[in-house]
Amino acid sequence: MFKAIVSAETLTSALDSVSVLVDECKIHLEEDGLEIRAVDPANVGMVDLSLDAAAFESYEADGGLIGVDLSRLEDIAGMADSGQLIQLELDEETRKLHIQIDGLEYTLALIDPDSIRQEPDIPDLDLPAEVVLEGNDVNRSVTAADMVSDHIALGVDETEEYFYVDAEGDTDDVHLELTQDDLIDLQIGPAHSLFSLDYLKDMNKAIPKDTEVTLDLGEEFPVKIYFGFGEGQGQVTYMLAPRIQSD
């Protein structure tokens, strides 16, 4: 059983943060909220999302599992104007999701969850450095780096105590330093890892610009990027595997 009413913004944010990595996903309809975990086919980027029942106008579920085609569902959610409510109801018999937006009714055929790639195990990471910054600063870093290179280095200078972003292109370079004062918080630790901008750009699209974002970093370790959405009732955690640094 699953029946819920949610604002278009909250649903769209949730779907967007997953669809940057995968086309299809499993959604766990738990009693206390929705949960999604997915990894891209190359096993490089992972998303772990939870959306608390409190984020919904109303929410009833008893632990079911559905598989969805994300772009389909996003298209439907896109039919709602901002501020409109979307009603979702699962028909257990037909395995279809009934979606209502105002007078619009849409019946979405679900995908067999078993046909969707297995949900990933969450890496057990003990990352020494933590950087808390505004989504806008993540956006600036990624956008600037993308102008010169395909990859981006993220690290912490332990002696000078700042977080830095480096991108080296064939001709041009980008460097950005953010000190304790520029950041919301910084926990100093040994950190320097290189990441693919292809992935980071996609993840960046889903990060709200005015939200507090936390980056956990290590040396040649995956980065853990997490932030809240849906007025703090939703939580997205991304993990991105590093590239091996040649020099």
Half-sphere exposure of 67 (CA within 13 A, CB side): 12
142 binds another protein (CB under 8 A): no
Span 167-206, contacts to another protein by CB under 8 A: 196
Q: Is 41 in the site for another protein (CB under 8 A)?
A: yes
Q: Which is nearer to another protein, 221 or 229 (CB)?
A: 221
Token pair 């918080």: residue: 185
DSSP string of 192-211, one letter each residue: EEEEEHHHHHHHHHHS-TTS
**What character string, x for contact with another protein (CB under 8 A) and - otherwise, covers 66-105?**
----------------------------------------
Q: Segment contacting another protein (CB under 8 A): 114-122, 130-138, 163-171, 202-210?
A: 114-122
Contact range with another protein by CB under 8 A, out of 12-20, 57-65, 122-130, 202-210: 122-130
Tokens of 82: 């901002």
Q: Is 124 in the site for another protein (CB under 8 A)?
A: yes
Q: Are 217 and 129 in contact (CB under 8 A)?
A: yes
Per-position DSSP letters for 6-30, written without gaps between them? EEHHHHHHHHHHHHTT-SEEEEEEE
For position 43 contacting another protein by CB under 8 A, the verdict is yes
Q: How far is CA 188 from CA 157, 158, 163, 184, 201, in A?
A: 8, 6, 9, 13, 25
**CB of residue 68 to another protein, shortest distance in Å:** 19
H helices present in 23-134, as ranges: 70-77
CA atoms of 153 and 169, how far apart (whole Å): 12
Q: Which is nearer to another protein, 22 or 99 (CB)?
A: 22
Asked if 125 is part of the footprint of another protein (rule: CB under 8 A), the reply reads yes
Question: Residue numbers of the site for another protein (CB under 8 A)?
Answer: 39, 41-46, 117, 120-125, 196, 221-222, 239, 241-244, 246
